[in-house]
Amino acid sequence: MIEIRPFNSLGQADHGWLKARHHFSFARYHDPSRSGWGALRVWNDDEIAAGAGFPAHPHRDMEIVTYVREGAISHQDSLGNHGRTGAGDVQVMSAGTGIRHAEYNAESGVARIFQIWIEPARSGGAPAWGTRPFPRDDRAGGFVTLASGRTGDDDALPIRADARIAGATLKAGESAGYAADPSRHLYLVAATGSMSVNGVHAGARDGVAVQGEDALRVTALEDVEIILVDAA
């Protein structure tokens, strides 16, 4: 089963400094048919104005992964962590028993991010945060694991969920494979460009919900940058 969720059908919010699209029910957007995909609960496509951001606020029992598409995001939290995550790179936060954090666009231009929330395998645990670069050239031609809680994904940022977040950049006409488990929930979004997933067309920033497939063949219809979540 492959279901396309067109970008123009997503939930949306415009707060002036923040323009958001919601792949799943979030805040004031509620769609019973889009309340998550397996352990994947949130996929927000956010555009944050220069000098603006989210002031300190709490989270608990959620794995929060931020993929920076353009610009950069600066982070501060109640553990004393602080850092800047630039375009193409990833930050993860395991909220655990509770953490407060703030995220700001401290740059002179707009920041564009995907923020992804995944339910943890177990509740509780000490909160944690981390970030690291993932050069886009290292993802050229195939999928690279960016963050994961799955066995064997030792080079990825760790999360405490039965899930993997992977990325790929493909030139027009190139294809990449991904070994899928039919029982799991996969969700793909092209940050830029268009693609076909097992022959099904998806445009830029469309959601692609997949289940019941044992393999994916993703072909770039134009130059494309893809983020994939594989969750229980």
Token representation of residue 204: 């830029």
Token representation of residue 132: 């690291």
Alpha-carbon distance of 158 to 50, in angstroms, equals 29
Alpha-carbon distance of 168 to 147, in angstroms, equals 13
Percent of the chain with pLDDT over 90: 100
Q: What is the pLDDT of residues 57-73, one digit of tens each?
A: 999 999 999 999 999 99
Listed as ranges, residues in the chain with pLDDT below 70 are none
Query: The pTM is what?
Result: 0.97
Question: What mean pLDDT is reported for the chain?
Answer: 97
Are 84 and 49 within 8 A, CB to CB? no
Alpha-carbon distance of 65 to 131, in angstroms, equals 10
Give, in degrees to the nearest 5, the angle at Cα 79 between 78 and 80. Answer: 90
- Residue 222's CB is within 10 A of a number of other CB atoms, namely 15
| CATH hierarchy code of domain 2-231 | 2.60.120.10
Name, in order, each residue with C-beta under 8 angstroms of 73's C-beta and a sequence gap of 6 or more: 48, 53, 66, 84, 85, 91, 103, 104, 105, 111, 113
Domain boundaries defined on the chain: 2-231
